[in-house]
Amino acid sequence: MVSSHSETSWELSPVKFSRLTRRGIILGLSLAQLIALAMGIITFVLALYAGDGQLLIYTAPAWASAAALTWFPVGGRKAVEWVPVVLHWLLRLLGGQTMYRRRVVKPRPAGTLALPGDAAALREYLDPETGAVMVHDPHAQTLTVILPVTHPAFVLLDPLQQERRVTGWGRVLATMCRSGRIARLQVLERTLPDSGAGLAQWWAEHGTDDGSWAARTYGELIDRAGPAGERHATTLSLALDMKAAARQIRTAGGGLRGGAALLRQEMTTLVTALRTADLKPGAWFTPTDLAVALRSAYDPGVANSLDRLGELGIELATAGPVAVDESWDRLRTDSAHHAVLWISEWPRALVFPGFLAPVLLSTGIRRAFSLVCTPIRSDQAARDIRRKKTEYVSDAAQRQRIGQIEDAQQSAEYQDVLQQEADLTSGHGVLRYTGLVSVSAPTTDELEAAVSAIEQAAIQASLETRRLVGQQAQAFTVAALPLARTI
């Protein structure tokens, strides 16, 4: 009886994510839809009262376009929601910001990361005490540090170990939420081509190269098998919110030095929490490690050389791309084409924690999966939950007054809000998750095939993905680079 109870208590528990809210301000209409609808109504009423029916016909394109923008869907969104995306893309296109060429003759200022776009403002700061490189974003007021993490394959563990590790990871996230000074925590899982350095090192240390035919054949086999394989690298990027922690930073000395002192406390807390969760944190990223990561993301063709030789591409000042061409739905960098998918809908039903395995373990595809966790302070989360509950109750009363039937999606969203309130009351934290998948390939045809394969894998994982358009360059820096940025 005891044994049976023990086995039952350690079964792997399914989990469920909250739905992406579709609720609007009034009658399911968002702010952009309301503005478009109001402009159409004003145009219609003015034409009706200012003239006869002929003026109403002349202004028909204006109020009809406003109505179409309000209700006509394009690509899964309402047409009015595409207006700012298209306008921003056109402005960048006319301003020549979709093309980047490295200025070889003119060196960049010391301490910069030599990245294109809005990432050009990022600065490097080397912490003298830990030797870790910290990335300062002066616009977002964040200071980021990167930590590599090793772990056994989750899907190969037994249910007891999986449940224990899921519980431990939940405690890590709860610790980050309680801090109140963390802007973001990014989990980046990259698929890298295996250079074969590990196999060659193992053969050099344990093999017996006696000059025989068997030893020579085995050595040649190791040299050929290494570059054909692939390996997975996981990093955690911790971003300190310098604006929220301004008072503590001034107490610690002010400026980047004070921010680094404060971030060191968060680094110690994170490492302790990871070890409690049976994860193995490595050494904090140095400027060399960050340079290799950035160079490998923009130029996958030299990733093997960077891993094998260990002396190329180690300068952070030259780690950025040489050329970038951004189109509407893809990105071209030094030696690869890239496309970024946004996980627009997490599993709506109960799933087990290993549900991402089809996406993360599909072979033969160069990709980077980025999960950006934005912790919300407990007081802000409580206020947000109360506001959502009030709005849902008001909307339900309004729908009942006008005779509109409440659908199942609205009821499910309300249940998600109640579940978040229950989790917050029981001591858990509230986080906002953003999932992005960057897919890379040498040619456009291979890229389209790889994107199609990832979309099918996402369907198997109960995920809904959308290909980002008009913002591929910014999305790539979030999905493929360990800088804990947001889009």
pLDDT digits (tens, 9 = 90+) for 162-217: 888 888 888 888 887 777 888 999 999 988 776 666 667 777 777 777 777 777 77
Cut 0.75: pTM above it: yes
**What pLDDT score does 229 carry?**
64
Contact 329, 472 (CB under 8 A): yes
Q: Summarize pLDDT for 367-406 with one digit per residue, the tens.
A: 999 999 988 877 788 888 888 888 778 777 877 787 777 7
DSSP per residue over 247-291, as a string? HHHHHTTSHHHHHHHHHHHHHHHHHHHHHHTT-EE-PPPPHHHHH
Q: Which two tokens stand for residue 407?
A: 């659908």
- Looking at every residue in the chain, the average pLDDT score rounds to 83
Computed over its alpha carbons, how large is the radius of gyration of the chain?
26
From residue 389, give the alpha-carbon distance in Å to each of 11, 19, 141, 264, 333. Answer: 33, 15, 32, 38, 46
SS3 content of the chain, % helix, strand, coil (to 5): 50, 20, 30
Specify the pLDDT at position 27.
Answer: 66
Question: For position 456, what pLDDT does the model report?
Answer: 92
Local confidence band at 310 (pLDDT 50, 70, 90 cut-offs)? low
CB distance 33 to 24 below 8 Å? yes
Token pair listed for 379: 């007081």
pLDDT of residue 142: 93
pLDDT band at 311 (very low <50, low <70, confident <90, very high): low
The closest alpha carbon to 201, from 232, 222, 180, belongs to: 222
pLDDT band at 313 (very low <50, low <70, confident <90, very high): low
For 70-111, the pLDDT digits (tens) are 888 877 778 888 888 889 889 988 988 888 888 877 777 777
Taking residues 249-264, report their average pLDDT. Answer: 90
Check residue 332 and give its pLDDT: 93
More confident residue, 221 or 450: 450
pLDDT band at 226 (very low <50, low <70, confident <90, very high): low
Instruction: Quote the pLDDT of residue 3.
Output: 42
pLDDT in tens, 111-124: 778 888 888 889 99
| Beta strand 331-332 pairing with 73-74 | unpaired
Q: With the C-alpha atoms ordered 131, 132, 133, 135, is the resulting torsion angle positive or negative?
A: negative
According to the model, what pLDDT value does residue 1 have?
39
Taking only the tens place, the pLDDT of each residue in 1-56 is 334 444 445 567 777 777 666 666 666 677 888 888 888 888 888 888 877 677 77
Q: What are 254's two structure tokens?
A: 């002010």
The maximal CA–CA distance of the chain, rounded, in angstroms, is: 101
Give the model's pLDDT for residue 455. 92
What is the mean pLDDT of the segment spanning 442-465?
91
SS3 440: strand
Q: Which residue has the higher pLDDT, 17 or 444?
A: 444
Cα–Cα dist 303/298, whole Å: 10
Q: Identify the band that residue 228 occupies on the pLDDT scale cut at 50, 70 and 90.
A: low
260: pLDDT strictly greater than 70? yes
